[in-house]
Amino acid sequence: QRAVALYFIDRLALRAGNEKDEDQADTVGCCSLRVEHIELHEQKDGKEYVVVFDFLGKDSIRYYNEVPVEKRVFKNLQLFMENKAPGDDLFDRLNTQIMNKHLNELMEGLTAKVFRTYNASWTLQQQLDELTNAEDSVAEKILSYNRANRAVAILCNHQRSVPKSHAKSMEKLKEKIEQKREQITDVQKQVKDAQRDAKHGSVKEKVVYDKKKKMLERLKDQLVKLEVQETDRDENKAIALGTSKLNYLDPRISVAWCKKYEVPIEKIYNKTQRDK
């Protein structure tokens, strides 16, 4: 039972799950899973040995996941569920204290939470390496960072309900993008005219052409920033990025990434987060 529970804690970044107090909601973690929280399928959607998890985790956030596991894990789970009622403990010979005592004997300071923190940080590092492009603008690099952070939040099941203001703020952003595109079309015409005038014109007309060109570049940069913001905001509407960023991710990974790709640290951690 200990080995199977640890397999899930490591592979799925599940919380260990401490016993709840009387006044707390009935939420569970790995060691306190009950038979009713999992379903076993020898075959499901073309995959073998699938375990379906469905339970309320910390802060009453639902955890739902369909996971193909190794045959030995699957067979053990069948064994643990034998002759048990839905409300019975899946791991009836295990609790978090027993698990952590065993881990501490293997290595001082090792607890079930260390697996979750380690896997979160490892995922961030791997995703940053995969997603970051050195040639990108700062705004695009931040989008990559947030996507890496999102992969961690999904792993740790850090969800949130979509903010009430989301639809309205997206609408405003779309309007801004539309206005910016219209501005660009307008300035592109001006650049064309200025280029024609500058070809056979005076120094002054050449200066005007240069100014218009720079203005067009600036507007294009602003459009990219707005489009990135739109993607970012929409992708993360139901994900709580801050929880994993502050509690699970080794800040050294983020700082090293900022230095390597010349992204100001303020873009990743706001003042409150930096102070913390």
15 and 63, same domain (yes or no): yes
204 and 258, same domain (yes or no): no
pLDDT score at 202:
84
Question: Sorting pLDDT into bands at 50, 70 and 90, what band is 93?
Answer: very high
pLDDT score at 127:
97
Residues 6+ apart with CB under 8 A from 147: 127, 131, 235
Burial of 90 (0-12, 13-18, 19+ CB in 10 A): buried
pLDDT score at 26:
64
98 and 131, same domain (yes or no): no
21 and 64, same domain (yes or no): yes
Q: Are 176 and 229 in contact (CB under 8 A)?
A: no
Here the CATH number for the domain that contains residue 99 is 3.90.15.10
Here the CATH number for the domain that contains residue 207 is 1.10.132.10
101 and 124, same domain (yes or no): no
Last residue of a domain, one of 110, 130, 148: 110
Give the whole-angstrom CA distance, residue 30 versus residue 16.
5
pLDDT tens, 113-129? 999 999 999 999 999 99
Q: What is the mean pLDDT of residues 229-239?
A: 89
pLDDT score at 25:
60
Q: Are 234 and 142 in contact (CB under 8 A)?
A: no
Query: Above 70 in pLDDT, residue 19?
Result: no
91 and 187, same domain (yes or no): no
Give the whole-angstrom CA distance, residue 53 versus residue 9.
13
84 and 172, same domain (yes or no): no
pLDDT tens, 127-165? 999 999 999 999 999 999 999 999 999 999 998 888 889
Number of domains in the chain: 3
Domain containing residue 125: 116-161+238-275
**How many Cβ atoms from other residues are within 10 Å of residue 95's Cβ?**
18
Per annotation, catalytic residue among 49, 63, 209, 248: 248
Task: Report which DSSP code applies to 239.
Answer: B
Last residue of a domain, one of 67, 88, 110: 110
Write down the mean pLDDT value for the chain: 92
21 and 93, same domain (yes or no): yes
pLDDT tens, 63-91? 999 999 999 999 999 999 999 999 999 99
Give the whole-angstrom CA distance, residue 124 versus residue 149.
6
176 and 81, same domain (yes or no): no
Q: What is the mean pLDDT of residues 54-59?
A: 89
Residue 145 appears among annotated catalytic residues: no
13 and 93, same domain (yes or no): yes
CA geometry: angle at 107 spanning 101 and 108, to 5°? 75
79 and 216, same domain (yes or no): no
143 and 76, same domain (yes or no): no
